[in-house]
């Protein structure tokens, strides 16, 4: 039985001061049903709501079983991914028990976010399982995609591999811009509403932490919901939650008042988030501390933007979201037909231009280095047919040098690479794996990239799917000079290869 908690009741008949009351013993169904078992072979088996999740160094397996909260019989799912499949680029963030990295997943040619979590800490393990249960086997495009997970045995951590959003969060955009224009915010809100509609209707899930920092963007202007760590699952769409979890900043009045709450709590948080984005400031006065903030949220009128300071459609939208009575708030699905959403859907703004403020030159350079070299090595590992695709990364004035033999021009370079691929094919298949990639910006916007890796004939590696070959590896180093053409495409202008 969990320890008793103190709750704040501001709705007592006496309005002079809030009263602290002790509720009846409550039961958190999520936390109570998450347990851990370490097997003899070193894998981690986590049991959550009658389902077993097995984490190994080679990936994640969710065993078949009935999920009582979602009331469905789930089939077995496997996510095959390991530490060998990813290349860590840099650290994105660090907490007390977790670290988030930007990494490159070679087999897909995409960047990913890797969240490493200390699974021995109960609270972190519970939050991790919320993320997995929310995103596992989900293709809803408005939620950050779950790519897989694996156990890192050397430090007892579980690594979650998630979609990488290169535009930061709405919170990050606010720091850069100060305010967010209504037209761009409307487009992002429509995508968030689609994600919330999916969570509420199909996952029976209350996110409980909708705020600017948890709405992620990419540089094309796509918005997605992230961070399901304190989410709550309910057993059907009419059920309610009773636990007091999370910070009060974006919490709805019914949650602050320790009343039962459900999906409308997310709608309140969304409305509050949008007001902050449009006005550039959090609408309540939080300077007096959490207690005074809670009193404001429950007792004071909703701090809607002044008439005339925003469009009537926006004011109407957030007013609907922030009804004090949760039963009067529209659903996420219903809000998709609101004029604030429909108006800008018909006259969609240029989201790429809007997101240009979030472009990071250093990040763009590191992504260009990994992208171009990754495309090259995947093409080389795919044999003669794959080599043909390398014509898109060279120009007519490109120079390729391999062990002292110099080749000039796109056509001649591709022909030279095809001859090498044919030679490799005579011994089986040849694969390249980049182990270390370093880059350095040069004058005129160019990029110098140095790669150290190994080459294997007769097998395959992480950059080309297939079984590990028996051929001995040869260590190589390779340098690339990359510059963009007049259309902005990154091309290899000079390349030097040698075996070590």
Pairing relationship of beta strands 98-105 and 110-118 according to DSSP bridges: antiparallel
Pairing relationship of beta strands 447-457 and 473-484 according to DSSP bridges: antiparallel
Summarised one tens digit per residue, pLDDT across range 36-82 is 555 555 566 766 656 778 888 898 888 766 554 444 555 677 889 98
- Crossing angle of helices 264-279 and 170-177, in 10° steps, is 20
Residue 6 lies in a domain: no
Distance CA 143, CA 225 (A): 5
Decide which of 135, 163, 191 is a domain's last residue. 163
Residue 308 lies in a domain: yes
200 membership: H or E segment, kind and range:
helix 182-201
The number of beta carbons lying within 10 Å of the beta carbon of residue 325 is 9
End-to-end CA distance of the chain: 63
Domain enclosing residue 115, as ranges: 33-163
**Are 426 and 353 contained in the same domain?**
no
Residue 24 lies in a domain: no
Residue 415 in contact with residue 461, Cβ under 8 Å? no
Residue 18 lies in a domain: no
**Are 342 and 196 contained in the same domain?**
yes
How much is the pLDDT for 134? Answer: 82
Angle at 435 between CA 433 and CA 440, to 5 degrees: 115
CATH number of the domain that residue 88 is part of:
3.30.200.20
Beta bridge partners of 160: 115, 149
**Are 227 and 340 contained in the same domain?**
yes
- Catalytic positions, written as ranges: 209
Decide which of 303, 330, 358 is a domain's last residue. 358
CATH number of the domain that residue 279 is part of:
1.10.510.10
**Are 77 and 174 contained in the same domain?**
no
**Are 327 and 193 contained in the same domain?**
yes
Summarised one tens digit per residue, pLDDT across range 228-279 is 776 665 544 444 454 545 568 999 999 998 888 899 999 999 999 999 999 9
Residue 296 lies in a domain: yes
Closest to 470 in 3D by CA, of 416, 422, 431: 431
Summarised one tens digit per residue, pLDDT across range 133-162 is 888 888 899 999 999 999 887 777 889 999
**Are 130 and 234 contained in the same domain?**
no
Confidence category of residue 474, pLDDT binned at 50, 70, 90: confident
Residue 432 lies in a domain: yes
Confidence category of residue 25, pLDDT binned at 50, 70, 90: very low
**Are 354 and 368 contained in the same domain?**
no
**Are 176 and 309 contained in the same domain?**
yes
Cβ-in-10-Å burial (0-12, 13-18, 19+) of 28 comes to middle
Residue 391 lies in a domain: yes
Residue 227 lies in a domain: yes
Mean pLDDT of all residues belonging to the chain: 81
How much is the pLDDT for 232? Answer: 67
**Are 322 and 433 contained in the same domain?**
no
The number of beta carbons lying within 10 Å of the beta carbon of residue 114 is 25
Residue 204 in contact with residue 239, Cβ under 8 Å? yes
Summarised one tens digit per residue, pLDDT across range 371-404 is 898 889 888 888 888 889 999 999 999 999 998 9
Distance CA 367, CA 458 (A): 30
**Are 57 and 176 contained in the same domain?**
no
Residue 107 in contact with residue 465, Cβ under 8 Å? yes
Domain count, the chain: 3
> What is the token pair recorded at 338?
């609101």
Residue-level length of the chain: 500
How much is the pLDDT for 17? Answer: 34
**Which positions make up the binding site for ATP?**
115
Residue 189 in contact with residue 210, Cβ under 8 Å? no
Decide which of 316, 334, 358 is a domain's last residue. 358
**Are 45 and 80 contained in the same domain?**
yes
**Are 300 and 325 contained in the same domain?**
yes
Distance CA 60, CA 55 (A): 5
Residue 448 in contact with residue 480, Cβ under 8 Å? yes
**Which positions make up the binding site?**
115
Distance CA 265, CA 190 (A): 18
CATH number of the domain that residue 408 is part of:
3.10.450.50
Residue 54 in contact with residue 132, Cβ under 8 Å? no
């Amino acid at each position: 039985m969990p320890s008793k908690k103190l709750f704040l009741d501001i709705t007592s008949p006496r309005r002079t001061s809030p009263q602290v009351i002790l509720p009846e013993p409550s039961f958190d169904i999520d936390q109570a049903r998450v347990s851990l078992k370490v097997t003899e072979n070193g894998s981690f088996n986590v049991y959550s709501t009658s389902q077993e999740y097995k984490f190994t160094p080679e990936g994640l397996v969710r065993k078949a079983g009935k999920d009582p909260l979602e009331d469905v019989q789930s089939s077995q799912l496997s996510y095959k991914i390991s530490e060998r499949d990813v290349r860590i680029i840099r650290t994105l963030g660090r907490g007390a028990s977790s670290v988030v990295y930007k990494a490159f997943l070679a087999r897909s040619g995409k960047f990913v976010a890797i969240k490493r979590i200390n699974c021995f800490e109960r609270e972190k393990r519970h939050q991790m399982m919320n993320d997995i249960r929310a995103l596992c086997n989900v293709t809803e495009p408005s939620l950050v995609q779950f790519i897989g997970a694996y156990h890192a045995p050397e430090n007892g951590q579980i690594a979650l591999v998630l979609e990488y959003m290169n535009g930061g969060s709405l919170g990050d955009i606010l720091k850069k811009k100060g305010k967010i224009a209504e037209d761009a915010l409307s487009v992002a809100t429509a995508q968030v509403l689609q994600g919330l509609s999916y969570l509420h209707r199909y996952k029976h899930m209350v996110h409980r932490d909708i705020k600017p920092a948890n709405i992620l963007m990419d540089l094309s202007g796509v918005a997605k919901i992230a961070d399901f760590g304190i989410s709550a699952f309910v057993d059907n769409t009419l059920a309610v939650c009773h636990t007091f979890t999370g910070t009060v900043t974006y919490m709805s009045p019914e949650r602050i008042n320790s009343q039962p709450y459900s999906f409308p709590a997310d709608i309140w948080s969304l409305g509050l988030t949008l007001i902050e984005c449009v006005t550039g400031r959090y609408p309540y006065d939080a300077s007096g501390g959490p207690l005074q903030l809670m009193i404001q949220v429950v007792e004071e009128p909703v701090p809607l933007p002044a008439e005339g300071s925003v469009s009537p459609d926006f004011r109407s939208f957030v007013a609907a979201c922030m009804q004090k009575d949760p039963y009067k708030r529209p659903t996420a699905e219903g809000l998709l037909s609101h004029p604030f959403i429909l108006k800008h859907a018909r006259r969609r703004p240029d989201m790429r231009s809007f997101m240009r403020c979030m472009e990071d030159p250093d990040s763009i350079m590191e992504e260009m280095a990994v992208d171009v070299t990754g495309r090259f090595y995947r093409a080389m590992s795919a044999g003669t047919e794959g080599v043909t695709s390398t014509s898109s990364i060279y120009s007519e004035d490109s120079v390729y040098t391999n062990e002292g033999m110099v080749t000039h021009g796109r056509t001649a370079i591709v022909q030279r690479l095809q001859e090498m691929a044919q030679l490799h094919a005579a011994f089986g298949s040849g694969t390249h794996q980049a182990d270390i990639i370093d880059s350095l910006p040069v004058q005129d916007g160019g990029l110098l990239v140095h790669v150290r890796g190994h080459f294997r004939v007769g097998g395959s590696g992480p950059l080309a799917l297939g079984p590990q070959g028996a051929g001995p590896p040869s260590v190589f180093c390779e340098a690339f000079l990359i510059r963009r053409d007049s259309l902005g495409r990154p091309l290899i202008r000079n390349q030097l290869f040698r075996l070590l």
